[in-house]
Structure 1
Amino acid sequence: MAIEMGRPGVDGLGDVVRVLREWQYGGAPVQVHPGDVGWFWRFGAERTAAATRTWSRAGKVLAVGLLDGADLLRLAVAPEALRDEELAQRVAACVSAPERGVLPGGKVYVEAPVEALIQDVLFKDGWEVGDPWTILRRDLGAPVPDPGVRVEVTGPERAHEWAAVLRASFDGSTFTEERWHAMAAGVPYADARCLVVRDERGEAVAAVAVWSAGEGRMGLIEPMGVHPAHRGHGYGRAVTVAAARALQEMGSSSVVVCTPSSNAGAVAAYRSAGFERLAERRDLYRDAG
């Protein structure tokens, strides 16, 4: 059977999230997580559906793509299909031809699991290696210590506060309270929590969202930020430990996070919170001019 590319639509997003959950078992490659879809849902269900692609054979989804902006496609591949030649060739053909409606012309990027054959196919087709990202993981089989700070779960009544901390944490961020509510209305948020850390005066100083994929599966941190006025006091480590602890309570077997390798401060914060640095991942890109 031929492999077909599809667009799930709003009604099909629940099935996409379910498939991504199934791919997050222990030892599976680190790739697009239900939480990545959940974080994108801050733009609303219709925009999330418009950004989602699937590749299927005989009705079974083998790969999911999320357009994280106009020029970046992030891919997840079914573990049993990571080295599937037909799938790799089909995805490569779709992402390399602007007329197929996946990626436009000009400079574009593809993020795929390190183990996926699609990486090899694109590289042989002339795609180039981009900047490195560091993948970090913490096993949750052992107890996670108390983070030593005041941690609260953010609900709708405090969404404005969580949004303000996160917005301040990233240059150019446009995150708002309205986007928090859109994110919280999404299918993946049923397995998520937003946490805020407060200092000794009760001021919100750090924020994080954690996403579970179900009991015994890998959880995700996305995003995590510390207000710039409160950096250098260990809040990055504290909020990361709080995130791991929350995911453990939710039944996750491990937690992963990805950050640009150039962001030494973030890498150090995750390492100090007990995360192990795994292999780097590099996007592939082509520039059609």
Structure 2
Amino acid sequence: MSIMVSTPSVGEMSRAVDALKRSQYDGGPLHLHPGDLGWHSLNGVEATAAAIRMWSRDGEVLAVGLLDGPELVRMAVAPQWRDDEALAHRLAADLDDPARGVLPPDGATVEARGAKLLTQLLVKRSWEPAEVWTTFHRGLSDPVEDCGLRIETIEPDRAQVWVAVHWSAFRGSPFTDADRRSRVGRWLAMAGGPFYGDGRFLAAFDANDDAVAVAAVWSAGPGRPGLLEPMGVHRSHRGHGYGTAITLAAAATLRNMGSSSASVCVESSNIAAVATYASAGFTPSAQVADLHRGPR
């Protein structure tokens, strides 16, 4: 039977999530994780479903893509199908040709870690290396050392604490009342969606009980690698080791959730983040680049 590509309805998203969970394994690439869908659901569950592409054959999901922006697709190919030539050629054609309706004509980027055959085919179609990333992993068979700070698992009634630190970490601009209402509203929408049960949202507090760092972690199920995404330190509290502390807390939380390991990915150019994850006992893997094509 031929390979079909589809966009799931909200009710059909569980097929994509289940396929992504099965694709996570220790020693494998840090490709698209079900936690990435969870984080994307800040945009709403309907928007997240609309951003998913599933490639299937005979009812089996072979690959999943998330349109994480108008020109970026993040991919996961099921491990047992990565060397399947028919699938790789179909994926390459769908990603390369704007007429297929996956990526736009003005330019596009593909993140396809671990999918070597697909990557080779895209290079043959004149796709070129783009942003370089470093993936980090930490095994969780042993207990994680105490981080030294008070850690709170944030529930919806405390969402404003989490979003304020996250805004400072990634925006650094004034956090207006309108910004706060918007961000808290999106956070609550995510909390009301189907992914929230697999996530935990952590905040670290200093000796003055100020929230200084936040992180989110996502389980792919017991015995599978969990994801740390995102992590950030408030701009007024940097330089005190709080990034390392919240990363240790994130790893400990994933261990308590039954994850076999913790994984995170960061731009290789982000020297501070690279140092933070290394100091929290995460081991880097080989760097990997996204692929980019210009206008078609």
User: Smaller-chain TM-score range?
Assistant: over 0.9
The amino acid that maps onto 1:3 is I
Q: Tell me what 2:39 maps to.
A: 39
What CA distance in whole angstroms lies between the structure 1 residues aligned with 2:236 and 2:35? Answer: 28
Question: Does residue 145 of structure 1 match 2:152?
Answer: no
Q: Tell me what 2:194 maps to.
A: 187
Q: Tell me what 1:8 maps to.
A: 8
Q: Is the 8 A contact 2:172 2:235 kept in 1?
A: no
Deviation, 1:115, is 4.1
What CA distance in whole angstroms lies between the structure 1 residues aligned with 2:116 and 2:55? Answer: 14
Q: Tell me what 2:87 maps to.
A: 87
Deviation, 1:131, is 1.9
Q: Tell me what 1:30 maps to.
A: 30
Q: Is the 8 A contact 2:77 2:115 kept in 1?
A: no
What CA distance in whole angstroms lies between the structure 2 residues aligned with 1:62 and 1:142? Answer: 33
> 1:193-237: per-residue Cα shift (whole Å, max 9, x none)?
000000111010100000011111000001000001000000000
Q: Tell me what 2:279 maps to.
A: 272
Q: Tell me what 2:183 maps to.
A: 176
User: Comparing 105-114 with 146-155, which one deviates more in the overlay?
Assistant: 105-114
User: Comparing 87-96 with 171-180, which one deviates more in the overlay?
Assistant: 171-180
SS in 2 for 1:202: coil
Deviation, 1:280, is 1.0
Q: Is the 8 A contact 1:77 1:116 kept in 2?
A: no
What CA distance in whole angstroms lies between the structure 2 residues aligned with 1:115 and 1:13? Answer: 22
What CA distance in whole angstroms lies between the structure 2 residues aligned with 1:181 and 1:172? Answer: 22
Pick from 260, 284, 289: which aligns with 1:282?
289
> 1:82-135: per-residue Cα shift (whole Å, max 9, x none)?
111111111111111212211101121000023431101000111011120110
Pick from 232, 235, 250: which aligns with 1:228?
235
The correspondence of residues 109-188 of structure 1 with structure 2, limited to 5 A, is 109-171=109-171, 176-188=183-195
> 1:40-76: per-residue Cα shift (whole Å, max 9, x none)?
0000011101110000111100000000100000000
Q: Is the 8 A contact 1:114 1:281 kept in 2?
A: no
User: Comparing 163-172 with 255-264, which one deviates more in the overlay?
Assistant: 163-172
Unmatched 5+ stretches in structure 1: none
Q: Tell me what 2:56 maps to.
A: 56
Deviation, 1:242, is 0.2
The amino acid that maps onto 2:237 is H
What CA distance in whole angstroms lies between the structure 2 residues aligned with 1:120 and 1:67? Answer: 21
What CA distance in whole angstroms lies between the structure 1 residues aligned with 2:69 and 2:108? Answer: 10
The amino acid that maps onto 2:7 is R
Unmatched 5+ stretches in structure 2: 174-178
Q: Is the 8 A contact 1:9 1:50 kept in 2?
A: yes
The amino acid that maps onto 1:217 is R
> 1:10-56: per-residue Cα shift (whole Å, max 9, x none)?
11112211111111122332210000000000000111011100001
> 1:224-277: per-residue Cα shift (whole Å, max 9, x none)?
000010000000000000000000000000010001001000010000000000
SS in 2 for 1:61: strand
Q: Is the 8 A contact 1:32 1:76 kept in 2?
A: yes
SS in 2 for 1:176: helix
Runs of 4+ off more than 2 Å: 25-29, 171-175
Q: TM-score, normalised by structure 1?
A: 0.97
The correspondence of residues 230-249 of structure 1 with structure 2, limited to 5 A, is 230-249=237-256
Q: Percent identity?
A: 51
Q: Is the 8 A contact 2:28 2:114 kept in 1?
A: no
Deviation, 1:184, is 1.6
Residues 70, 172 of structure 1: alpha-carbon distance in 2 compared, 3 angstrom cutoff? farther
What CA distance in whole angstroms lies between the structure 2 residues aligned with 1:250 and 1:114? Answer: 26
